[in-house]
Amino acid sequence: MLKGIHPAISPELLKTLAEMGHGDELVLSDAHFPAHALHQKVIRADGLSISTLLEGISALFEFDQYVEAPLAMMQAVPGDNLDPSVEERYLAAIKKVNDTAPRVERVERFAFYNRAKAAYAVVITGELAKYGNIIIKKGVTPTP
């Protein structure tokens, strides 16, 4: 175990976060997401919620400040409703580490899947919330 790293961040996830460059995206998927069908690099984080991982990642990860919305979540399919508490939980987890949380954009379901295919990696979590998937875009770490 390393000091200062959230215990939910596995060695494989830590390595992936370090490898990612500016503009690379990471999918934090719910337990229902077809990660293995969409991507070659899949990291398992079974039993962990996305909000727990967002809290741990936010301490290590600069969100892209050069795009309008460095967070993306799936839009509800017509006829479905979004539970606003899911997004609220995610932003609250980020705000535990940062003073503010970046803007979230909503992406149509199949456009979200296409974006996930192009992501650096997909992390499958134990999240059970419907439309609980989120894509985070890495930014540039500021120099001291």
Structure confidence by residue, pLDDT tens digits, 39-67: 999 999 999 999 999 999 999 989 999 99
Q: Which domain holds residue 131?
A: 21-138
Q: Spell out the alpha helix ranges (H) of 5-47.
A: 11-19, 35-38
Return d(Cα 118, Cα 94) in angstroms, integer: 24
pLDDT of residue 1: 65
Above 70 in pLDDT, residue 134?
yes
Element at 25 (helix H, strand E): strand 25-29
In a domain, 35, yes or no: yes
How many CB atoms are closer than 10 A to CB 144? 3
Q: Is residue 143 part of a domain?
A: no
Q: List C-alpha distances in Å: 140 to 12, 18, 19, 115, 130.
A: 21, 12, 13, 20, 31
User: How confident is the model over 84-98, as a mean pLDDT?
Assistant: 96
Annotated binding site for substrate: 30, 109, 131-133
pLDDT reported for residue 2: 76
Set 22, 32, 36, 39: catalytic member: 22
- pLDDT score of 85 more than 80: yes
What would the mean pLDDT of 71-90 be, rounded to a whole number?
Answer: 96
Helix H or strand E encompassing 55 = helix 50-58
In a domain, 44, yes or no: yes
Q: pLDDT at position 6, please?
A: 94
Q: Flag whether 41 is in a domain.
A: yes
The arithmetic mean of pLDDT across residues 132-144, rounded, is: 92
Residue 20 has pLDDT above 80, yes or no: yes
Assign residue 121 the CATH number of its domain.
3.40.1650.10
Burial of residue 100 (CB within 10 Å: 0-12, 13-18, 19+) is exposed
Answer yes or no: 39 catalytic. no
Using CA atoms, how far apart are residues 129 and 12, in angstroms rounded to an integer?
A: 24
pLDDT at 95 over 90: yes
Is 7 inside a domain boundary? no
Residue 3, domain member (yes or no)? no
Give the C-alpha distances (Å, rounded to integers) separating 94 from 32, 34, 40: 23, 25, 27
Whether residue 133 lies inside any domain: the answer is yes
Q: How many domains does the chain have?
A: 1
Where residue 36 falls among pLDDT bands split at 50, 70, 90? Answer: very high
Residue located via tokens 């727990």 = 52
Report if residue 43 sits inside a domain: yes
Across all residues in the chain, what is the average pLDDT? 96
- pTM here? 0.95
